[in-house]
Structure 1
């Protein structure tokens, strides 16, 4: 209800005349002037914004504002400015060999920066943000490569992929010894014991001895008599401690049974040649890239190895 205004005895503030339950009075305490001024200025600012910039939707679009500003157009201009500023680098990358780009520090650093962004967008989903890989996806930071780790071989792998369907792709495949009934389960178990023994893992020694002959008859043609692998055939080194699918007895048996046969896209079908070069240089820079001069004698294992 409403009563006459009076001074509140406790606070000394005039009341508004509104009272509840007979003795609860509303004090007349207006908002601070600075707050009111700020509020009024905000209203004026909003009105000015509606006039100057695009603001209100209409049936046929939206109000353009007196400045006719478009954030989309601004983004396009920024992109064009970026392309223009980097066009000289991309032109040089397109014209130069990977080895020459590697020797040019400015171009190499530009390629690493661009390649890192491309890797995050296209490759990290499988290889991880840090290129650390995972089960079935190789670690690109080490120096263990299936198809070779020098610049040209990394470029070949990225550009055309692995079992991608591209005519230039790496396309060798490990036989499916179990699926195709080449070996029975006991032979697969013995072979797995022998393969694991090459990496000095704990195995059934008697089974490994039996598996040695099976390996010689069925696997040595690709992996070599000592299991060191063969880059020309895409056969991994079986003697190191790096395992793409795991080193357990069951994991190795599954690899022998099915051959695994992982695939990688041909990125030359999705990215332009400059982008593929930049990706190549980025992967090379991660720490596992082999020097060109050493590529011929480099360890024969790595990037897609079905171990």
Structure 2
């Protein structure tokens, strides 16, 4: 048998294999042939690529062929997804129609199948549109309301939540809900001392200790003159204006003394987009139901009882 080795090339002393002439840090590269199994996999991959290119969309942007080659099967994943979405919407259309016809949260709750659908559809819509601000679990953050409790700035009935979703808060919707707390410090409506005093009084409204009783007493008069028009004289707030209740332990912008001072100083207010036009009516209904049941939303009977207690 003829020896095909090139005698001019260096051989490795240990293995007897010719080297390629490449050397790195004293390590010489051997001129070994590729493993057979690796070559067969390579050849099979090339054949598979050619077959795939013939049958499936594969080559982008060739002149005269549009945006890509179509292949014999003319398969389109974009079309497949659109068809799948259309099928899903068709399968859900009946439930969405029932949801719209239900008209009330009691009717939705009385139908287990409809309730399950509303919660599933609402959870999906919440994750896509609301979780960025309110959190994946709707727990909220500083400046973003917690939707798991029963504290509502603009009312917690099913209808109230639907309306808030439709028009938003301080959004561009013509019927948006709007409230504005003055920046008492930034706009020099109150001095630093007066802000400290009214902060001490606000702390007492929720049963907490002020820095001094004298400061809280002075803050009480400031509160009546500057804050009671929105928060009411007893600090229970006014939902018609979106003014929060200051007598509970829930604080949208933080309940520490420094946070309350900062809130009074700069008068923050959040913005919630209007979802009317972005989401269809059926999705808004499902989303309202989901949010309602997250926090045990308020019934009309609860609202009537609360109003009687106020009277």
Calculate the TM-score normalised by the size of structure 1.
0.82
1:236 and 2:244 are equivalent in the alignment: yes
Residue 78 of structure 1: aligned partner: 84
CA RMSD of aligned residues (A): 2.8
Name the SS for the 1:132 alignment partner: coil
Shift of 1:145: 1.0
* Alignment partner, residue 45 of structure 2: 42
5+ residue gaps, structure 1: 6-14, 300-307
The answer on whether the counterparts of 1:198 and 1:239 sit within 8 Å (CA) in structure 2 is yes
Higher mean C-alpha displacement, 169-178 vs 113-122: 169-178
Once residues 228 and 276 of structure 1 are traced to their aligned partners in structure 2, the CA distance between those partners, rounded to angstroms, is 30
Query: What does 1:249-268 correspond to in 2, within 5 Å?
Result: 249-268=257-276
Query: Aligned ranges for residues 1-307 of structure 1 at < 5 Å?
Result: 5=3, 20-21=10-11, 23-24=13-14, 25-26=16-17, 36-57=39-60, 58-60=62-64, 61=66, 62-99=68-105, 100-204=107-211, 205-297=213-305
Is contact 1:115–1:275 with CA below 8 Å preserved after alignment? Answer: yes
Tell me if structure 1 keeps the 8 A contact 2:201–2:219: yes
- Residues of 2 paired with 1:275 and 1:169: CA distance? 19
Question: TM-score, with normalisation over the residues of structure 2?
Answer: 0.81
Aligned residues of 1:174 and 1:259 also touching (Cα < 8 A): yes
Offset of residue 16 of structure 1: 6.2
> Which shows bigger deviation, 162-171 or 30-39?
30-39
The verdict on how the C-alpha distance between 1:29 and 1:202 changes in structure 2, with shifts beyond 3 A counting, is same
C-alpha contact (below 8 Å) 1:164/1:266 kept by paired residues:
yes
Which 5+ residue runs of structure 2 have no aligned equivalent?
Answer: 19-30
In structure 2, C-alpha distance between the alignment counterparts of 1:66 and 1:166, rounded to whole Å: 50
Encode CA deviations 1:206-228: one digit per residue, 9 max, x unaligned: 20111112212332333233222
CA deviation after TM superposition for structure 1 residue 297, in Å: 4.1
Deviation of residue 157 (structure 1)?
A: 1.2
1:29–1:270 distance in 2 versus 1, CA, 3 Å: closer
Aligned residue in 2 for 1:11: none
* CA gap 1:22/1:130 in 2 versus in 1, 3 angstroms: closer
Contact residue 11 and residue 17 of structure 2 kept, 8 A = no
1:262-300 superposed Cα distances (whole Å, 9 cap, x missing partner): 22212114222112112111211223422342133469x
Superposition deviation, residue 49 in structure 1: 1.2
Find the aligned partners of 1:152 and 1:296 in 2 and give their Cα distance.
15
- Find the counterpart in structure 2 of residue 10 from structure 1: none
Q: Aligned partners of 1:32, 1:166: CA distance in 2, in Å? A: 69
> Relative to 1, partners in 2 of residues 1:64 and 1:233: Cα closer, same or farther, differing over 3 Å?
closer
Q: What SS is found at the alignment partner of 2:234?
A: coil
